[in-house]
Amino acid sequence: MKYKRILLKLSGESLMGDKAFGIDNNRLKSYALQIKEIYDAGVEVAIVIGGGNIFRGVQAEEGGMDRTHGDYMGMLATMINSMALQSALESEGVHSRLQSAIEMKAIAEPFIRRRAVRHLEKGRVVVFGAGTGNPYFTTDSAASLRAIEINADVILKGTRVDGIYSADPEKDPNATKYDMISFDDVYKKGLNIMDMTAFTLCKENDLPIIVFDMDSPGNLLKVLKGEQVGTIVRN
């Protein structure tokens, strides 16, 4: 395997599948099976998942709700998704631990960096819930922060498109795909991959990002084997 320890970032919206809201059980099972493939191959896996399929703090602000209040509600949404993913993993025989940035003793461990690393070393998948625990920070920022804290080799950003394009491939048929691109070029071209806080954290800590299509079964394993899947962003 090309990477020993990874952080997988999944969007909450991707869990919806073909639904308009909530969690599609078939999509959840597909993700769990893909994660099991790399888990069985001995890769150390940490996961951060968003909450956009349930609640988004930014949308709450647009409706007149206080942004801080909305962001905390969004963090709780990520915990629902994290618990669902943990359950799906456990049903496939994958040992896992859920750690929360907000204390929730009944359902998750508190986030403790050294404990998280120890879980990974013992061959457990670690799911990080509740974002960073702070409002105004996205789950992309949480993924970047946690990846740096646990010394991950790479962030794998699973999306519904097969990499980074010069324009939105769903809107522009002439959009060209990049196999590899530098952080600086992403800035210059104004490409939207992660929010700037998350992206800058990766750039400053020399942490590569691979954007790939997680909805195609087998892609996650291909990325870990070093095959040309998706787009890699690096310094």
Q: Are 71 and 135 in contact (CB under 8 A)?
A: yes
Torsion of CA 38, 138, 114, 147, to 10 degrees: 50
Whole-number pLDDT of residue 161: 87
Whole-number pLDDT of residue 169: 82
Whole-number pLDDT of residue 160: 86
227: its two tokens: 């095959």
Whole-number pLDDT of residue 20: 86
Q: What is the pTM of this model?
A: 0.95
Whole-number pLDDT of residue 60: 74
Mean pLDDT by 10 residues, the chain (235 residues): 96 91 95 97 97 84 86 96 98 98 97 98 98 96 98 96 88 92 93 91 97 95 95 96
Give the domains, in start order, of the chain with CATH numbers.
5-234 (3.40.1160.10)
Whole-number pLDDT of residue 170: 80
Whole-number pLDDT of residue 77: 96
What span, in angstroms and rounded, lies between the C-alpha atoms of 14 and 9? 11
Whole-number pLDDT of residue 9: 98
Whole-number pLDDT of residue 63: 79
Whole-number pLDDT of residue 27: 96
